[in-house]
C-alpha cells in the first residue's frame, strides 16, 4: 500500500517550488560587488602547435584587467585522472598532463589557450578577439583505429595514442577463447556506442573569489561534488590548502556526469581573482558547452556470444576501443573499464567472459562518465548480440534471456565478470513485463500498422547495472585513487527542527524532499521540519558527491547511521529526564517512553534539553544533539530491469516512432515512488535520445559538426511516448540499511538496446535482412539500411 507520509510516500518535490517559480539560485545568478568577467580564447583547430600568442593589444583595451596564457600555469599541476588503470602487460596507463590552459599545443577544437579578465563581458569578448595566436595546424587525429595505427600523437611526450590496453579478467582470457572456439554457435556483432554531448540545461559557470585578509579562496561552481573539486584543486592543480579553499555548488541545473569533473576554467577564475583582487566570473555559452563539457560513450566494439544450439550461453568476448578524447578527464579511465567490463556478464549465468578495452587519445573533447557511464555500453553490447543470436537460432527473445538468467536461489551470485550480485529476481521482472506488454495482441497491432503502411517492431531487453558506487576497499584494488564513501551530519536544533548536512549534491534528483522523508520517519517528526544542506564544503562533511546512482544508497545510508546515533543519544537524555535507565526507554513515533509505564517525553523536549542542559549529567552525556556518520558500502548495489517497446518504422522515410515503452525495474526498496518514476522517465528520455536522435560527430579535421542544436538532436516531448513504469516488486539490497539500489541511470542504460532491437524486428518483419544499425537510428540511417538490405 502506498503510504501518505514518510518512507515510501510520494511527497511532492519541495525544491520544485523554487525551481518552477524562478526562485532558484544558480551560479550565474550570484552577483558579487566588483565582479569581473572572464572570457576564453579557444582553439578553432583540432591539433596545432602554438607558435606564439600576442596579448599586447588585448592588454591595452578598455576595461581589461588581466590576460592569461598557458605560460602562466606552466609551473602548476595538471588535472589528474582519478583511476589508475594498468595494461594487460602490467604497465601503468599513460597520463599526459592536462594543463589549466593549453601550452605548446592545442589538442581539440575548443581547447582554451588564453583568457581575458575585464570589467564587462563585452570588453572581455572584444579583447579576446584581439589576442593574436599563431597556431600551426597539424593533421587531426580523430578516428580511433587510425590513431592506434599511426605515428602522429596527440601527446608527443608519450609516443603513443593508446592510454592503456586493459584485459578483464586477464586470467579468463584463454578459457574464454577456448570456449568460443569449441562452441556450436557464435554470434558476432560490431557496433558503435555513439558519442553524446551531455547538454545540461544550465551551462557550466564558475566564480572565483580571493580574500587577501585571510589568504583564502571561495569557488562557486556548477559541480556535482564540491569536495572532490576542492580536493583536486588543492592536492593536484593549484596547491591551495584545503582549509583555505571553500567550494560551493549552489542550485545546479542538471549534470548527468558532466559536472562531476574539475575543469581548467575553475582554476583560472581562482588564479585570476587572486591576481586582480576582485571576483571573476565565467559562464559558458552553449557553444562552449558543446565543445568542452566532457562528452559521453564513444566506444567501438566487437562482441561475440558463444552458445549452445538451445541458446545456453557459453561465453561473451568483447574488443572495445574507447575514446578518451584529447585529455584524461577525472573518471575517464574508470568508465570504459570498471564501470563497463565488470558488467559484461549481464543478468546471466554465462561461465566465460573476457573484455579487452583499448583507450585511445584523439583530437576531440575529453570523454567521461555520462548518465550510466560504462553500463549503457555494456548493456547495449550484450543485449544487442543476444537479440541477434536469438534470431539466428530461432529462439524467442524472452525465452533465450530467461534460459540464462541468474535464478533467485543463486544469490549471492558471483558473475563471470567478477562482481558479486547480492539480490535480484530477473524472471519476476520479466513476468511483470509480460503482463504489461500484451504480447498476444502484438500480431494484431502489427497488422493494423501495416494497413497504414507502417512496420511495427517489438524490442526486448534485460539489464543489470552496478551503482551506489562504491566500496572503497574494492575500488582501491581496482585502481581508484579516492575513496567512495559518503557522509552526513544530522543536527537537531534546540527547537526540535533539523538541519541535515550531506555530502551528496542534488542537481535535479530531489534529495531535499526524499532525505527528510527518511529522517522524519526514523524520528517520528514532520519531514517539513527537516532541511537538507548540501553543496558547500564549509558546511557539510567530506562526502564524494552525486553520480553513479549513489546518493541514496551511500549518502542516504550515512544519514541513517547518523540518525541512529541521534536516537541513541536522545534515548540517554530521555532516560535522564524520565529518571530511568536508557535500556528501559523505548522510542516510537517521536516519543520516548519508559517500558511498561505511561511516563514519556517527546523528541522535541529532548532536543530542547540537549541545548539547555540544566541539571544535566555532564559527566555521562555531552550537551547538544548532533551526529556525523561516514558510510562506506560493503558492495555495489545491483539494480536490474526488463524493458520492452514497440516502434513503428515508416519504410518510405526511415522515420522511427516509439509507440509504447514499458520499463520494469528492481530498485530495491522505494523511498518516494513519484520521484523514482520521474528519474526513470528522465533516463528513458536520454536513452531514447541516444538510440534515435543524439550523436556528436567530428569530421576528419576534428571539427565538431554537431556543435549546436541546429545539428545535435535533443529529444523533445513529441519524440517520446507515454511510458509504463513499474518498480513495485523490488528485491531489497542486502547490505545497506535502507535496502535501496539506485534509480538515476537505469532508464538510460536499459532503453537504447530496447529501441534498436525493436527497429531491427520491424525491418526483419518486412523481409529486410538488416541485422544491425548503429545509433542514432536517424531516418537517414534506417532508410539507408533498408536500401542496402
Partner 1 sequence: MYAFEIERPGTIADAVKALQSDGAQALGGGQTLIPTLKARLAAPDVLVSLSAIGEMQGVCLSDDGALCIGAATTHATVARDAAAHFAGLAHLASHIGDPAVRNRGTIGGSLANNDPAACYPAAVLGTGATIITNARQIAADDYFQGMFTTALDEGEVITEVRFPIPQKSHYMKFVQPASRFALVGVFVAKYADGVRVAVTGASEEGVFRWHEAEAALSADFSPKALDALSVDADGMIGDLHGTPDYRAHLVKVMTGRAVTAAT
Residues that bind partner 1 (CB under 8 A): 122, 125-126, 129, 287, 652-653, 655, 693, 697, 705-706, 709-714, 778-780, 783-784
Q: How far is the CB of 140 from partner 1 (least distance, A)?
A: 18
Q: Which is nearer to partner 1, 323 or 778 (CB)?
A: 778
Residues forming beta bridges with residue 488, ordered by sequence position = 502, 629
Q: Which is nearer to partner 1, 131 or 433 (CB)?
A: 131
CA distances from 735 to 171, 420, 468, 519, 622 (A): 29, 12, 11, 19, 32
Structure letter (DSSP) for residue 555 = I
Residues forming beta bridges with residue 245, ordered by sequence position = 217
Q: Which is nearer to partner 1, 197 or 680 (CB)?
A: 197
Q: How far apart are CA 487 and CA 472, in angstroms?
A: 13
* Residue 16, C-beta contacts closer than 8 angstroms, at least 6 positions apart: none
The answer to whether 646 and 722 are in contact (CB under 8 A) is: no
Q: How far is the CB of 300 from partner 1 (least distance, A)?
A: 19
Q: How far is the CB of 705 from partner 1 (least distance, A)?
A: 6
And the C-alpha cell for 348?
546471466
**Closest residue by Cα to residue 306 from 381, 389, 380:** 389
The answer to whether 646 and 460 are in contact (CB under 8 A) is: no
Q: Which is nearer to partner 1, 452 or 588 (CB)?
A: 452
Q: Which is nearer to partner 1, 396 or 784 (CB)?
A: 784
Q: Which is nearer to partner 1, 125 or 599 (CB)?
A: 125
Q: Which is nearer to partner 1, 387 or 694 (CB)?
A: 694
Handedness of CA 116, 117, 121, 126 (dihedral sign): negative
Surface-to-core class of residue 708, CB atoms within 10 Å of its CB (0-12 exposed, 13-18 middle, 19+ buried):
exposed
Residues forming beta bridges with residue 586, ordered by sequence position = 593
The answer to whether 348 and 385 are in contact (CB under 8 A) is: no
* Residue 110, C-beta contacts closer than 8 angstroms, at least 6 positions apart: 42, 43, 288, 290, 291, 292, 365, 704
Q: Which is nearer to partner 1, 634 or 780 (CB)?
A: 780
Q: How far is the CB of 776 from partner 1 (least distance, A)?
A: 9
Q: How far is the CB of 128 from partner 1 (least distance, A)?
A: 10
Q: How far is the CB of 701 from partner 1 (least distance, A)?
A: 15
Residues forming beta bridges with residue 665, ordered by sequence position = 641
Q: How far is the CB of 783 from partner 1 (least distance, A)?
A: 6
Q: Which is nearer to partner 1, 408 or 779 (CB)?
A: 779
Q: How far is the CB of 692 from partner 1 (least distance, A)?
A: 8
Q: How far is the CB of 720 from partner 1 (least distance, A)?
A: 13
Q: Is 785 helix (H, G, I), strand (E, B) or coil?
A: helix
Q: Which is nearer to partner 1, 125 or 403 (CB)?
A: 125
673-688 vs 746-765: helix crossing angle, rounded to 10: 50
**Closest residue by Cα to residue 551 from 463, 474, 488:** 488
Burial state string for 341-352 with b = 16 or more CB within 10 A and e = fewer than 16: bbbbbbbbbbbb
Q: How far is the CB of 287 from partner 1 (least distance, A)?
A: 8
Q: Which is nearer to partner 1, 254 or 779 (CB)?
A: 779
Q: How far is the CB of 290 from partner 1 (least distance, A)?
A: 12
Q: How many CB atoms lie within 10 A of CB 182?
A: 10
Q: How far is the CB of 709 from partner 1 (least distance, A)?
A: 6
The answer to whether 63 and 118 are in contact (CB under 8 A) is: yes
Q: How far apart are CA 648 and CA 476, in angstroms?
A: 47
Q: Which is nearer to partner 1, 16 or 784 (CB)?
A: 784
Amino acid at each position: 500500500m502506498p503510504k501518505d507520509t514518510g518512507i515510501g510516500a510520494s511527497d511532492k518535490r519541495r525544491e520544485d517550488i523554487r525551481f518552477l517559480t524562478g526562485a532558484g539560485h544558480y551560479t550565474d545568478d550570484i552577483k558579487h560587488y566588483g565582479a569581473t568577467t572572464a572570457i576564453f580564447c579557444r582553439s578553432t583547430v583540432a591539433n596545432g602547435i602554438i607558435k606564439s600568442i600576442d596579448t599586447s593589444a588585448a592588454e591595452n583595451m578598455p576595461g581589461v584587467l588581466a590576460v592569461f596564457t598557458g605560460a602562466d600555469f606552466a609551473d602548476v599541476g595538471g588535472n589528474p585522472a582519478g583511476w589508475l588503470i594498468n595494461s594487460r602487460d602490467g604497465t601503468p596507463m599513460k597520463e599526459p598532463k592536462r594543463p589549466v590552459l593549453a601550452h605548446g599545443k592545442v589538442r581539440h577544437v575548443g581547447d582554451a589557450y588564453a583568457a581575458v579578465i575585464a570589467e564587462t563581458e563585452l570588453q572581455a569578448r572584444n579583447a579576446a578577439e584581439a589576442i593574436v595566436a599563431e597556431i600551426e595546424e597539424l593533421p587531426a587525429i580523430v578516428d580511433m583505429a587510425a590513431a592506434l595505427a599511426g605515428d602522429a600523437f596527440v601527446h608527443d611526450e608519450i609516443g603513443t595514442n593508446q592510454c592503456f590496453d586493459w584485459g578483464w579478467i586477464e586470467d579468463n582470457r584463454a578459457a574464454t577463447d577456448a570456449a568460443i572456439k569449441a562452441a556450436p554457435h557464435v554470434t558476432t556483432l560490431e557496433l558503435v556506442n555513439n558519442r553524446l554531448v551531455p547538454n545540461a540545461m544550465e551551462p557550466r559557470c564558475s566564480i572565483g573569489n580571493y580574500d587577501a585578509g585571510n589568504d583564502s579562496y571561495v569557488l562557486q561552481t556548477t559541480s556535482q561534488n564540491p569536495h572532490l573539486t576542492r580536493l583536486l584543486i588543492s592536492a593536484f592543480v593549484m596547491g591551495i590548502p584545503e582549509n583555505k579553499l571553500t567550494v560551493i555548488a549552489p542550485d545546479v541545473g542538471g549534470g548527468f556526469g558532466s559536472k562531476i569533473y574539475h575543469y581548467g576554467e575553475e582554476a583560472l577564475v581562482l588564479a585570476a581573482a587572486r591576481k586582480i583582487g576582485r571576483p571573476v566570473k565565467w559562464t559558458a555559452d552553449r557553444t562552449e558547452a558543446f565543445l568542452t563539457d566532457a562528452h559521453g560513450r564513444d566506444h567501438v566494439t566487437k562482441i561475440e556470444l558463444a552458445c549452445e544450439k538451445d541458446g545456453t550461453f557459453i561465453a561473451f568476448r568483447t574488443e572495445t576501443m574507447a575514446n578518451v578524447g584529447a585529455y584524461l578527464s577525472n573518471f575517464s579511465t574508470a568508465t570504459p573499464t570498471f564501470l563497463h567490463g565488470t558488467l559484461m556478464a549481464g543478468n546471466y549465468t554465462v561461465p566465460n567472459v573476457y573484455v579487452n578495452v583499448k583507450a585511445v587519445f584523439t583530437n576531440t573533447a575529453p570523454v567521461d562518465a555520462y548518465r550510466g557511464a560504462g553500463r549503457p555500453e555494456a548493456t547495449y553490447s550484450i543485449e544487442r548480440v543476444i537479440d541477434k543470436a536469438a534470431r539466428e537460432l530461432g529462439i524467442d527473445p524472452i525465452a533465450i534471456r530467461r534460459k540464462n538468467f541468474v535464478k533467485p536461489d543463486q544469490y549471492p551470485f558471483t558473475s563471470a565478470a567478477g562482481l558479486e550480485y547480492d539480490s535480484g529476481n530477473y524472471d519476476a521482472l520479466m513476468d511483470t513485463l509480460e503482463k504489461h506488454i500484451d504480447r498476444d495482441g502484438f500480431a494484431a497491432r502489427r497488422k493494423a500498422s501495416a494497413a497504414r503502411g507502417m512496420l511495427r517492431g517489438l524490442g526486448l531487453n534485460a539489464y543489470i547495472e552496478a551503482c551506489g558506487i562504491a566500496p572503497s576497499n574494492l575500488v582501491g584494488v581496482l585502481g581508484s585513487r579516492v575513496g567512495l564513501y559518503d557522509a552526513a551530519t544530522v543536527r537537531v536544533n534546540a527547537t526540535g527542527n533539523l538541519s541535515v548536512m550531506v555530502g551528496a549534491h542534488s542537481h535535479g534528483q530531489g534529495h531535499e524532499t526524499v532525505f527528510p522523508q527518511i529522517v522524519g520517519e526514523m524520528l517520528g517528526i514532520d519531514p517539513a521540519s527537516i532541511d537538507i544542506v548540501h553543496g558547500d564544503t564549509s558546511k557539510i562533511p567530506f562526502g564524494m558527491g552525486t553520480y553513479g546512482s549513489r546518493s541514496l544508497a551511500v549518502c542516504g545510508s550515512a544519514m541513517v547511521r547518523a540518525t541512529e546515533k541521534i536516537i541513541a543519544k536522545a534515548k540517554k537524555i530521555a532516560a535522564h529526564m524520565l529518571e530511568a535507565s536508557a535500556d528501559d526507554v523505548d522510542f516510537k513515533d517521536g516519543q520516548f517512553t519508559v517500558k511498561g509505564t505511561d511516563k514519556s517525553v517527546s523528541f522535541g523536549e529532548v532536543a530542547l534539553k540537549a541545548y539547555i542542559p540544566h541539571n544535566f549529567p555532564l559527566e555521562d552525556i555531552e550537551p547538544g544533539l548532533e551526529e556525523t556518520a561516514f558510510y562506506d558500502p560493503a558492495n555495489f548495489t545491483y539494480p536490474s530491469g526488463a524493458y520492452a517497446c514497440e516502434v513503428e518504422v515508416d519504410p518510405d522515410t526511415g522515420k522511427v516512432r516509439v509507440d509504447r515503452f514499458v520499463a520494469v525495474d528492481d530498485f530495491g526498496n522505494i523511498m518516494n515512488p513519484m520521484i523514482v518514476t520521474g528519474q526513470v522517465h528522465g533516463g528513458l528520455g536520454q536513452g531514447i535520445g541516444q538510440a534515435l536522435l543524439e550523436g556528436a560527430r567530428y569530421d576528419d579535421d576534428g571539427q565538431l559538426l554537431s556543435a549546436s542544436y541546429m545539428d545535435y538532436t535533443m529529444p523533445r516531448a513529441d519524440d517520446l511516448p507515454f511510458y509504463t513504469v513499474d518498480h513495485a516488486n523490488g528485491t531489497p539490497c542486502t547490505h545497506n540499511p535502507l535496502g535501496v539500489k539506485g534509480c538515476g541511470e537505469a532508464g538510460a542504460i536499459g532503453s537504447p538496446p530496447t529501441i534498436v532491437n525493436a527497429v531491427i524486428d520491424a525491418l526483419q518483419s518486412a523481409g529486410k535482412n538488416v541485422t544491425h544499425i548503429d545509433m542514432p537510428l536517424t531516418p537517414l540511417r534506417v532508410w539507408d539500411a533498408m536500401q542496402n538490405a
